[in-house]
């Protein structure tokens, strides 16, 4: 069974979803893949996992790095799961690149190369925004691209974490890597 709750963040409304195992979704209202893995049958009800997620978000949005993580149950292919696992290792307030994630994934799988574009697709389909920190991934050249919640939200999240933004830029439409 999937349970949902709404959360009002300083950046707008967020929909949370969880099953008995963990959080399955966290989407900003109106984002690109909004609730794309949410089952048609779900119940709006407070659960311990959703309460813990709200507590995590309350801390996060005050600019405090939470010292715990609610149970997560991301839904996706083995490839996406592997990418999301790497995202969880990106420290608060720091960033990495799509290329670096591709390099790590290739190394884990004993390959000489992995496509940064394939990694970008998996990052972009992360259904648990913020907690699985896809907003911490940038282009190799510092471009701020590829956030389903919108680039302005990505910038605000990085600023909230006090990430070093000096070398980042928002590319003009149609020039993203």
* pLDDT tens track for 34-47: 777 788 888 899 99
CA 21 – CA 88 distance, rounded (Å)? 18
pLDDT of 31 > 90? The answer is no
Residue range 98-121: average pLDDT? Answer: 93
Q: Are 81 and 105 within 8 A, CB to CB?
A: no
pTM higher than 0.95 for the full model?
no
pLDDT of residue 174: 55
pLDDT of 57 > 70? The answer is yes
Q: Are 122 and 83 within 8 A, CB to CB?
A: yes
The sign of the dihedral angle between the CA atoms of 2, 3, 8, 10 is: negative
pLDDT of 173 > 80? The answer is no
Q: Which residues are catalytic?
A: 134
pLDDT of 160 > 80? The answer is yes
- Report the Cα–Cα distance between both ends of the chain, in Å, rounded: 39
pLDDT of 62 > 80? The answer is yes
Residue range 48-58: average pLDDT? Answer: 98
The position carrying tokens 């709200």 is 54
Strands 23-28 and 12-18: antiparallel
pLDDT of residue 89: 98
pLDDT of 109 > 80? The answer is yes
């Amino acid at each position: 069974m999937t349970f949902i709750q709404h959360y009002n963040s300083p950046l707008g409304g967020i929909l949370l979803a969880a099953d008995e195992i963990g959080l399955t979704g966290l989407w900003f209202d109106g984002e690109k893949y909004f609730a794309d893995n949410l089952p048609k049958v779900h119940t709006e009800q407070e659960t311990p996992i959703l309460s813990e997620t709200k507590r995590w978000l309350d801390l996060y949005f005050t600019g405090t790095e939470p010292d715990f993580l609610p149970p997560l149950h991301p839904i996706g292919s083995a490839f996406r799961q592997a990418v999301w696992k790497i995202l969880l290792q990106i420290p608060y307030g720091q960033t990495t690149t799509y290329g670096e994630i591709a390099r790590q994934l290739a190394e884990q799988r004993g390959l000489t190369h992995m496509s940064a574009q394939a990694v970008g697709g998996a990052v972009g389909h992360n259904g648990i925004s913020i907690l699985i920190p896809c907003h911490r991934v940038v282009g190799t050249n510092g471009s701020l691209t590829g956030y389903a919640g919108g680039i302005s939200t990505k910038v605000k999240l990085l600023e909230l974490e006090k990430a070093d933004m000096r070398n980042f830029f928002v590319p003009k439409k149609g020039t993203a890597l």
